Structure 1
Amino acid sequence: MQNIESINNIIKENPAVMLYFSAPTCNVCHALKPKLLEAVSENFETFEIVSIDISTDADIAAHYSVFAIPTVLVFLDGREFLRKSRHMSVGEVINEIKRPYEIMFS
């Protein structure tokens, strides 16, 4: 079971973390998620990815000020680096992460 504390620990313990907020009723979320997770895995080997279902974990969504789905939050070195909601492409997310990630891990 996820909670805010466990997610905060994941963010502290891992240099690169993606939180993926979605819900079972969101068709866009389900279409985007596998493509995004595959692209992140292919491009960034050290990313920790946490999926959060806002229908069961609304308190976590509220804690991170997530009010629309799908939403992706990317944390690098424990700080929020990127926030994308609703209309996003996989390429757009990957491109925005690529340079700072390469600088961190080169």
Structure 2
Amino acid sequence: MNFVNSKSDIEELINNNKIVLLYFGSNNCNVCTAMKPKVKEILEEFPKIKSVQIDVEKSLEISASYEIFTIPAILIFIEGKEIIREARYISIQNLREKIDRYYNMIFD
């Protein structure tokens, strides 16, 4: 996952790809740093998903525009629309199942 600090870059990514995962976190958040490798594992399972990471401390305006009130937060956009939003206490298994369902509908 690459870091992005521009809302226009995020919007372009969302508009030009079928599935996009936004990961909001912070280096000062222990849960965020523990969650990040698990999210990367999911992204390896679903290689057609584009992803970016947003550091909430460096990108307050972006975080506010996506209404991020707690971290870690994962937003998944499918064909330009926010379909999945998970925050704070995230079940990786449930997230994987939700992604799998949409991924198979779109790419199979």
TM-score class, shorter: over 0.9
Note the C-alpha offset of 1:70.
0.1
Letter in 2 for 1:45: P
Q: 1:29 aligns with which of 27, 32, 38?
A: 32
Letter in 1 for 2:6: N
Equivalent residues of 1:21, 1:54 under 8 A apart: yes
Q: 1:53 aligns with which of 52, 55, 61?
A: 55
What does the per-residue CA deviation read over 1:31-85, in whole Å, with 9 as the maximum and x for residues that have no partner?
011111112212x110111000000001000010111000000001111010000
Q: Distance in 1 between matches of 2:43 and 2:8?
A: 24
Note the C-alpha offset of 1:21.
0.2
Match of 1:38 in 2: 41
**Of 4-13 and 89-98, the range deviating more from structure 2:** 89-98
1:104 is the counterpart of 2:106: yes
Normalising by structure 1, we get a TM-score of 0.94
Q: Distance in 2 between matches of 1:104 and 1:17?
A: 13
What is the count of residue pairs matched by the alignment?
105
Q: Distance in 1 between matches of 2:78 and 2:44?
A: 16
1:84 is the counterpart of 2:86: yes
Normalising by structure 2, we get a TM-score of 0.93
- In structure 2, runs of 5+ residues without a counterpart are none
- In structure 1, runs of 5+ residues without a counterpart are none
Note the C-alpha offset of 1:101.
1.3
Percent identity between the two aligned chains: 36
Note the C-alpha offset of 1:91.
1.1
Q: 2:65 aligns with which of 57, 63, 70?
A: 63
After TM superposition, which residue ranges in structure 1, 4 or more long, deviate above 3 angstroms?
Answer: none
Equivalent residues of 2:5, 2:58 under 8 A apart: no
